[in-house]
Each structure stands twice: as C-alpha cells, then as structure tokens.
C-alpha cells in the first residue's frame, strides 16, 4: 500500500513537472500533459493536404520558427515522415484549436484555418521555449471574447508600411484579431483620398512639432513633419493582415479632431478660414461644421473610398473630444438645430453621428465610436468603445448597445510602465504597470444579461511621445500580452501564473527580435 502511495505521488510529480513545461500566453483552456516529447528540426515537414489556405498558414509558421531550427520548415501536401499535420475540424468553433504533441508527431486542428494559425502560434511558443524540443501534450483551446483588438495611432507620429506590418505580426502573435488604425486627426491626415487629393498632399504635413511634454514645454523643433499611405499601400496592409486573420478597422475622426481636413479644405469648418495642421497635442476648438450640407457630402465621399479600401464590418468614426464652441457661434449649425428640433449642441453631435451611421448602414457597414457618442443619444445599432474609464461601456451595455472595453485606466499603453518615470522614455505621464492591464474586468458592474453586450477588449497606443516603431514596441511589450490574456482567457486568469509563463514567453519576443520593456521581468514596474 505504501509503495502504491509513493507511485501515485511520483506520477503526480511527473505530471506537474510536465505541465510546468507548457508555458503558453494567453493561457489555454485545457492542458493535458503526457509522456515524452517531439523534436522539431529543420527537416520536420509541415503537412497541410490539398487545402491552399492551410498550406499558406503552414508557410507562415515555418517562417516563425526559422530562427530556432535554422531554416524554414518544408511545407508539403503529404509525407510519410514524422510531421506537423494541419487540418480543419468543422465541429470546432472558428477560432478554437486542438494541439496534440506525441513522440511520433504533432497535429494541429482548428475550427477554421484561423483556428489552425492560433494553434500554431501556441506551438511556436513551445518550439522556442524548448529550442525545438516540444513536450508531449494535448491542448484544447478557444478564446473567451470575440473582439480582441489593438489600436495604433499613426497621426501624431507616422509609421511606414513595414512598421505597420510588424505591428500586425505582434497583434497576431498575441492571438488578437482586430487592428484599429487611427488615420486622421488634428496633427495630420494619413490616408490618400483621390476625390480630395489635398488631404494627403497638404493635410498630412505639419510645419513643426512640439518638443518635450505638452504640459511643460513651449518649444518646437522647427522641422516639417508628414507622411501618408497611398491607396495601394492601404490595400497591401489590409491583405497582409487578412493573411494573419486580423481585421483592419480604419478610424476617420469626426466631428472633432478635424484640422487635418480643415487645413486643405477650410470650407469644411464653421469659420471657413485660417486653419493649420496642429503642431502640438491636445484638443482643437475647430471641428467639422455640422450645419453645412457640403460637410456631409465631403464625409460621404471620403467614406465611399474608405469602405472600398477596407472590407471590415466596422468603420470607426471617432466622436470623441469635440468642443462645441464653434457650433454655438455658427449660424449654419444653429439653423440646423432649429430645423431639426435639437435642444443643444450635444444633440447636434448625435444628429451628426447618426446621419453618418445611416449612410454607412446603407452601404453594409456598422460604426464604432468613442464613448462620447453616448452624449445626446445614439442609435441602438452603434457600438461604443469605452475609453474614459469603463463607465461608457457600462452605460452602453445597460442601454442595450454593444461595447468594446478599452479604458485608459487599463488599456492605454502610451502610459508610463513604472512608478519611477524618470527612468523611462518620455511618455504620457500616467502609470500603467502590467498588473493593472491584467486586472481589467470587462464585465465590471454588469448583470449576466448586460454582459452579452460586451464584445471584447482593446489596447490603444497613442503616439504623441512615441516617435518610431522601435519605441512603440518598448511600450507595447509585454503589456499587450496581459491584455491578450484578458481577451482570450478572461475565465481562467491568474496573475502569478501569468507572471511565471511570461518568463518563458519573453523568449518568443527575443527570437522574433523585438525590443521590449524589461521592468516587469526585473520586478521594477511597481
């Protein structure tokens, strides 16, 4: 009896040891360790059958592990050798996958090729962590939230196409499925619109840029700054993202944050003259005129080209931080309010947003807006992105509107990462460590019925103080991993377990060549 007890204890210890070798981020739903391992070498084939999509996914994976095995793995339709076999199982959810590793080979099944790629992202981590040696295991996994996003602001500082693609690779690595691309603002217009060529030619350039922090500096660098994406570049990025099953959601800001458009086309504003692409950060009082029909004609023409470039279900139309001073003084806006029985300028903004939403609905699209769109009332079909804390998303869900949680309190990755910002690069100034990102509860204060309206979560990277993509990666990583676990594994979060797994996941960052902040790993972020 004593020997049997010892045997059971030894078996339990063996399984615990094996389980500790499975260090995947975000945390899988179920992990069943087994005995043995399989070694992935440069000769290990990836087998995808006749499915062209799986063959393409297999080639993506081969590129991911090339730094570990020494060259791209061969991707084949069939083989008799021990291999990594890919397949689709329609009984699984679209984003679900099964990963089975035995000493004889590896099988990755997904509910779709997208699910297969998620399984391969997990396998990638195991290959990297074991330097090719993958412990035997069966992993059953699926995401908790359907919407898992990350936003990149390319207005304050422009990111070339190759950097945008690298951002998408990081998004896909973390099993996120939405890339929110912030393309227009007061500091520049970054998308070519052929009907209005001066948007890119003139609106993309500011004469200089604030040097230092907005709250403490009045110095400027004296150098013109610009950049925009051609329509062919936009299509290239959208296609690149689609290959990684990431949907690109463009944001065209309105009715505020509009100087990138008002500068080349001053008739779009209430004053109608003397606009300039902003050289500093913050909120300009000059916005789109809500009283002129020509404003809506312009917006519809712009959006017609936008929806031709972006096949996404959603179009983000901003709606945040729109001062109403110009509207109060504008005879066109006041007349619009009178004609439509609007009581105040908040209702005028609601009129503006609902009119744009109606046009987009007529073209088969839906809108997302920042939580200010709740002011003055919104349609039941509008989706709210909550950024001023979670209160906007809570209010939206309670009112029966879909919501995405992206509160600045947990999701603004331009904030400082430590409580000692003097040791960090210049940043926003607020403090957001990994632990706080991980602590986000998208369901906070919501009933079971109200929770159904929460689509998911999103991390936001504003770039006022992020001049290039090297700096962007330092701000994104590893905090994006914490957000990805909230979105993928909300029902199984455990911060200390996450911390342990991240010590292994950082090796995937290393192999990919990503510079990342080390404060969290060094215990210096709190």
Please confirm, yes or no, whether 257 is among the known catalytic residues: yes
Six-digit token string for 503: 């010590």
Residues 6+ apart with CB under 8 A from 463: 152, 153, 154, 155, 156, 157, 159, 414, 472
Instruction: Output the DSSP codes for 80-139.
Output: SSS-EEEEE-TTS-TT-EEEEEETTEEEEEESSHHHHHHHHHHHHHHHHHTTTEEEEEEE
Q: Which residue of the set 129, 141, 185, 286 is catalytic?
A: 185
Determine the Cα angle at 11 with ends 10 and 15, to 5°.
115
Distance CA 480, CA 520 (A): 12
Please confirm, yes or no, whether 321 is among the known catalytic residues: yes
Peptide bond into 112 cis (omega under 30): no
If 0-12 CB within 10 Å is exposed, 13-18 middle and 19+ buried, where does residue 42 land?
middle
Residues 6+ apart with CB under 8 A from 511: 67, 68, 128
| 3-state per-residue secondary structure call for 365-383 | CEEEEEHHHHCCCCCCCCE
Distance CA 510, CA 503 (A): 11
Distance CA 365, CA 355 (A): 13
Q: Which residue of the set 236, 321, 346, 450 is catalytic?
A: 321
H or E element, residue 27: none
3-state secondary structure at position 455: strand
Determine the Cα angle at 26 with ends 23 and 27, to 5°.
60
CA 459 → CA 4, 153, 476, distances in Å? 51, 11, 9
Six-digit token string for 483: 């957000």
Distance CA 411, CA 458 (A): 7
Q: Which residue of the set 257, 316, 410, 504 is catalytic?
A: 257
Distance CA 113, CA 160 (A): 29
Six-digit token string for 383: 């989706």
Please confirm, yes or no, whether 410 is among the known catalytic residues: no
Task: Give the catalytic positions in this structure.
Answer: 185, 257, 321
């Amino acid at each position: 009896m004593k020997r049997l007890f010892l045997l059971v204890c030894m078996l339990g210890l063996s399984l615990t040891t094996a389980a500790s070798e499975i260090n995947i981020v975000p945390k899988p739903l179920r992990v069943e360790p087994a005995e043995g391992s399989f070694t992935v070498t440069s000769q290990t084939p990836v087998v995808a059958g006749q499915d062209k999509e799986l063959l393409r996914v297999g080639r993506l994976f081969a590129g991911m592990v090339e730094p570990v095995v020494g060259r791209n793995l061969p991707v084949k339709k069939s083989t008799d050798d021990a291999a990594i076999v890919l397949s689709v199982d329609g009984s699984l959810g679209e984003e679900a996958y099964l990963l089975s590793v035995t000493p004889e080979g590896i099988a990755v099944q997904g509910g779709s090729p997208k699910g297969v790629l998620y399984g391969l992202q997990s396998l990638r981590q195991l290959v990297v962590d074991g330097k090719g040696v993958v412990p035997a295991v069966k992993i059953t996994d699926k995401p908790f939230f359907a919407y898992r996003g990350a936003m990149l602001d390319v207005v304050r500082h422009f990111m070339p196409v190759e950097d945008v693609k690298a951002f998408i690779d990081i998004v896909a690595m973390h099993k996120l499925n939405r890339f929110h691309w912030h393309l227009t603002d007061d500091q520049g217009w970054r998308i070519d619109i052929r009907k209005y060529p001066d948007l890119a030619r003139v609106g993309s350039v500011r004469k200089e840029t604030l040097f230092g922090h907005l709250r403490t500096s009045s110095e400027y660098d004296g150098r013109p700054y610009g950049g925009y994406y051609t329509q062919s570049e936009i299509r290239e990025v959208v296609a690149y993202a689609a290959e990684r099953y990431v949907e690109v959601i463009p944001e065209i800001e309105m009715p505020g944050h509009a100087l990138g458009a008002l500068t080349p086309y001053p008739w779009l504003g209430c004053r109608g003259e003397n606009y300039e692409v902003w050289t500093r950060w913050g909120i300009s009082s000059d916005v789109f005129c809500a009283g002129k029909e020509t404003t809506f004609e312009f917006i519809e023409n712009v959006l017609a080209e936008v929806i031709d470039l972006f096949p996404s279900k959603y179009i983000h139309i901003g709606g945040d931080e729109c001062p109403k001073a110009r509207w109060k003084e504008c005879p066109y806006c006041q007349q619009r309010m009178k004609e439509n029985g609007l009581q105040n300028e908040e209702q005028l903004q609601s009129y503006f947003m609902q009119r744009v939403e109606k046009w987009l609905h007529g073209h088969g699209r839906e809108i997302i807006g920042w939580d200010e769109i709740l002011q003055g009332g919104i349609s039941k079909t509008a989706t709210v992105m909550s950024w001023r804390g979670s209160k906007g998303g809570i209010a939206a869900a309670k009112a029966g509107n879909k919501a995405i949680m992206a509160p600045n309190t947990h999701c603004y990755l331009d904030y400082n990462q430590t409580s000692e910002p003097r040791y960090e690069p210049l940043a926003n100034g607020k403090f957001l460590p990994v632990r706080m990102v991980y602590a986000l509860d998208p369901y906070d204060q919501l009933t079971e019925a109200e929770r159904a309206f929460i689509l998911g979560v999103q991390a936001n990277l504003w770039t006022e103080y992020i001049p290039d993509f090297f700096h962007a990666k330092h701000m994104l990583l590893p905090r994006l991993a914490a957000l990805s676990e909230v979105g993928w594994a909300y029902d199984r979060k455990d911060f200390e377990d996450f911390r342990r797994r991240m010590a292994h996941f950082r090796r995937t960052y290393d192999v990919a060549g990503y510079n990342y902040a080390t404060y969290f790993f060094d215990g210096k972020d709190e």
